[in-house]
Amino acid sequence: MDGKTRSNIRAGMHVSIVLKQDQLSGKLTKGIVKDILTNSSNHPHGIKVRLTSGEVGRVKEICQE
């Protein structure tokens, strides 16, 4: 599934995100979605989410559970 489309992402899903400070390196951080922060239906760089750990970033991959 595509991490650029809001309807593909729901709270409780396992995802890989890129944190703001990791945008240049592209380092991925895995976690579980707590909140969806992007209001628009899609975003070219990925939907912004908050993980249960409190980290905020843009979804790059939706992981299979």
pLDDT at 2: 84
In the chain, the largest separation of any two C-alpha atoms, in whole Å, equals 28
Which tens digits make up the pLDDT trace of 22-50?
999 999 999 999 999 999 999 999 999 99
Q: What is the pTM of this model?
A: 0.92
pLDDT at 65: 64
pLDDT band at 64 (very low <50, low <70, confident <90, very high): confident
CATH topology for 6-62 is: SH3 type barrels. (2.30.30)
Percent of the chain with pLDDT over 90: 94
Residue ranges covered by each domain of the chain: 6-62
Helices H / strands E in the chain, number of each? 0, 4
Contact present, 8 and 2 (Cβ < 8 Å): yes
